[in-house]
């Protein structure tokens, strides 16, 4: 059973220099009770994807094709504001990247946690009891006292824990985590990842986890998609992709991660070239300009080639791709 099923999703932004296609034919499935990772470098469209799912695209952005099917088949891409709002927070919860700005600075943490339970019909005291229980779950020490405190009185790591507590309080079926650990130090990052994993199993929700950090994705996610310039270039189980990547970009990206090198290298691998201008996308494969195995056929749109069941790469040359390594 799937919780989220994104089909053929394209999103355009109107800019002064013409339409910018931020997402092109994105395919993504989040099965029930699974953690799906979205990985990609800056400009790959990760944030646009989340905003499209949450119905929070900027005013100049619009969904030009595709569907975002949620649970029983509601299409989030074409849901009206009220229906979307009814899902947000209750069925779909979100944790954002910036722990400093994610909480309202002039309202106490307790007040904010109470407010998001407005649909529960509980009394104020019952709401607070639930808030305390939730804060305890994310290991905030002394939660009763801390309810009355304001966000600036918490450290960055604690704020992110509070954000997670708030997101999971209504036991949503989908948690979207947008780079929740990027702003944190490494020792905090691992505790947050472990906390997320633990709570996900407890609550039994699905998670869509966005990160640029391959190690975090490898550790946390069951399945993943790799994005480049607004397209999903490869998707499959985390194991498939880390051990048997078939898109040249994925292979290069994996090779670039210095964490994969167990010894000091004479030269570190890189991916020469730059992202294409999303206002003037190349015909065909979006990665061809930076790909050494690209040939004539790559100037036509590549198919979503099936490597094995559930492992798909958007490339004409999935077999030749095995030879691709990043340029050192």
Partner 1 sequence: MTSEPLLTVSDLRVQFRMGGIMAGLSGQPTSIEAVAGVSFSLERGRTFALVGESGSGKTTLARAVNGLQVAAGGSIRFEGRELRDFSKSDWKPVRRRMSMMFQDPVGSLSPRLSVRSILAEPFAIHGLSGKDANAEVMRLLALVGLPRDFADRYPHQLSGGQARRVGVARAVALDPVLIIADEPTAGLDVSVQGEVLNLLNDLRDRMGLSLLIITHNLHVVRQIADSMAVMYLGRFVEEGETEAIFAAPHHPYTAALLSANPEPDPDKVHNRIALPAEVPSLLARPSGCEFHTRCPFAQDKCAADAPLPARVGASLFTCHFPLNPETGAALAGAG
Partner 2 sequence: MLRYALKRLGLGIVIVSVAMMMLFAMVYVIPGDPASVALGPRATPQMIEALRARMGLDQPIWMQFLKFYTSAFRGDLGTEVLSGRQVLDVVFEQVPFTLALIAGAISWSVLLGIPLGCIAAVRRGGFVDRVVGILSVAVIALPSFVIAIYSLLIFAVALRWLPAIGAGEPGNLKSQLMALILPSLAVGLGWVGYIARMVRASMLETLEASHIRTARAFGLSDRRITYSYALRIAILPTITLLGVGIGHMLSSSVFAEIVFARPGIGKLVYEAISVRNYPIVTGAVLVTTVFFVVVNVLADIVIGALDPRVRASFD
Partner 3 sequence: MSEQALIERRPLTRLGGLGRTLRRIMREPLGALGLSLVVFVVLMALFADVLASYPSTKLSPADRFQPASWQHLLGTDHLGRDLFSRVLHGGRIALAIALGATGASLVIGIVLGLIAGYGPRWLDNLMLLLFDALKSFPTVMLALTLVTLTGPSLTAVVVVVVLVSVPGYARIIRTQTLVLKSAEHVMAARSMGASTARILAVHIMPNVIGPILILASMDIPVVVAIEAGLSFLGLGVRPPMPSWGSILNDGFANIRDSYWIVVAGGLPIVLTTLGFTFLGETLRDVFDPRLRGRG
Binding stretches for partner 1 (CB under 8 A): 41-42, 139, 155, 157-158, 185-187, 189-191, 193-194, 212-219, 238-239, 242-243, 252-254, 256-261, 264-265, 267-271, 274, 326
The option from partner 1, partner 3, partner 2, none interacting with 20 (CB < 5 to 8 A, set by class) reads partner 3
What are the two backbone dihedrals, phi and then psi, of residue 56, each rounded to the nearest 5 degrees? -115, 30
Residues that bind partner 2 (CB under 8 A): 54, 56, 85-90, 93-94, 96, 98, 101-107, 115-116, 118-119, 150, 152-153, 163, 166
What's the closest the beta carbon of residue 267 comes to partner 1, in angstroms?
5
- Report whether 212 contacts 286 (CB < 8 A): no
What's the closest the beta carbon of residue 160 comes to partner 1, in angstroms?
13
Quick note: the x/- pattern for partner 3 over 251-280, rule CB under 8 A, is ---------------------------x--
- Nearest Cα to 64, choosing from 111, 21, 99? 21
DSSP states along 76-139: GGG--HHHHHHHBTTTEEEE-S-TTTSS-TTS-HHHHHHHTTTTS---HHHHHHHHHHHHHHTT
Please identify, using beta-carbon distances, which residue of 20 and 134 lies nearer to partner 3: 20
What are the two backbone dihedrals, phi and then psi, of residue 203, each rounded to the nearest 5 degrees? -85, -25
With the CA atoms of 13, 14, 16 and 17 taken in that order, what torsion angle do they form, in degrees rounded to the nearest 10? 70
Q: Does 328 bind partner 3 (CB under 8 A)?
A: no
The option from partner 1, partner 2, partner 3, none interacting with 186 (CB < 5 to 8 A, set by class) reads partner 1
Q: Which of 3, 4, 9, 22 binds partner 3 (CB under 8 A)?
A: 22
Please identify, using beta-carbon distances, which residue of 45 and 248 lies nearer to partner 3: 45
Q: Does 54 bind partner 3 (CB under 8 A)?
A: no
With the CA atoms of 312, 316, 318 and 321 taken in that order, what torsion angle do they form, in degrees rounded to the nearest 10? -130
- Nearest Cα to 63, choosing from 233, 55, 73? 55
- Report whether 226 contacts 39 (CB < 8 A): yes
> Dihedral of CA 309/234/324/299: which sign?
positive
Q: Which of 5, 7, 33, 47 binds partner 3 (CB under 8 A)?
A: 47
Crossing angle of helices 156-169 and 124-137, in 10° steps, is 120
Length of the chain: 328
The option from partner 1, partner 3, partner 2, none interacting with 268 (CB < 5 to 8 A, set by class) reads partner 1
What's the closest the beta carbon of residue 18 comes to partner 1, in angstroms?
19
Stretch that binds partner 3, among 45-53, 119-127, 167-175, 237-245 (CB under 8 A): 45-53
Please identify, using beta-carbon distances, which residue of 118 and 202 lies nearer to partner 2: 118
Please identify, using beta-carbon distances, which residue of 53 and 305 lies nearer to partner 3: 53
What's the closest the beta carbon of residue 76 comes to partner 1, in angstroms?
29
């Amino acid at each position: 059973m799937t919780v989220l099923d994104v089909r053929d999703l394209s999103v355009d932004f109107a800019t002064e220099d013409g339409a910018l296609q931020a997402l092109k034919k994105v395919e993504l499935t989040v099965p029930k009770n699974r953690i799906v990772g979205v990985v990609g470098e800056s400009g790959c469209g990760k944030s646009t994807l989340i905003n499209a799912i949450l119905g929070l695209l900027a005013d100049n952005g619009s969904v030009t094709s595709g569907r975002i099917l949620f649970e029983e088949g509601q299409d989030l891409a074409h849901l009206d504001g009220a229906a979307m709002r009814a899902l947000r927070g209750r069925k779909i919860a979100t944790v954002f990247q910036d722990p400093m700005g994610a909480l309202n600075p002039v309202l106490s943490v307790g007040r904010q946690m109470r407010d998001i339970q407005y649909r529960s019909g509980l009394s104020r005291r019952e709401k607070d009891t639930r808030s305390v229980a939730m804060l305890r779950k994310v290991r905030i020490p002394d939660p009763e006292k801390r309810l009355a405190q304001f966000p600036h009185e918490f450290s960055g790591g604690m704020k992110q824990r509070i954000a997670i507590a708030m997101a999971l309080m209504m036991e949503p079926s989908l948690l979207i985590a947008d780079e929740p650990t990027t702003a944190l130090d490494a020792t905090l990052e691992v505790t947050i990842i472990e906390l997320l994993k633990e709570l996900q199993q407890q609550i039994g929700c699905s998670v869509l986890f966005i990160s640029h950090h391959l190690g975090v994705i490898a550790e946390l996610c069951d399945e993943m998609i790799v994005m480049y310039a607004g397209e999903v270039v490869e998707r499959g189980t985390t194991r498939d992709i880390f051990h048997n990547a078939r898109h040249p970009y994925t292979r290069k990206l994996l090779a670039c991660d210095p964490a994969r090198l167990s010894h000091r290298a004479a030269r570190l691998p890189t991916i020469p070239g730059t992202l294409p201008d999303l206002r003037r996308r190349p015909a065909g494969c979006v990665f061809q300009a930076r790909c050494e195995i690209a040939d004539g056929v790559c100037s036509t749109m590549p198919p979503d080639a099936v490597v094995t069941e559930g492992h798909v790469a958007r490339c004409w040359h999935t077999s030749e791709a095995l030879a691709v390594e990043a340029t050192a």
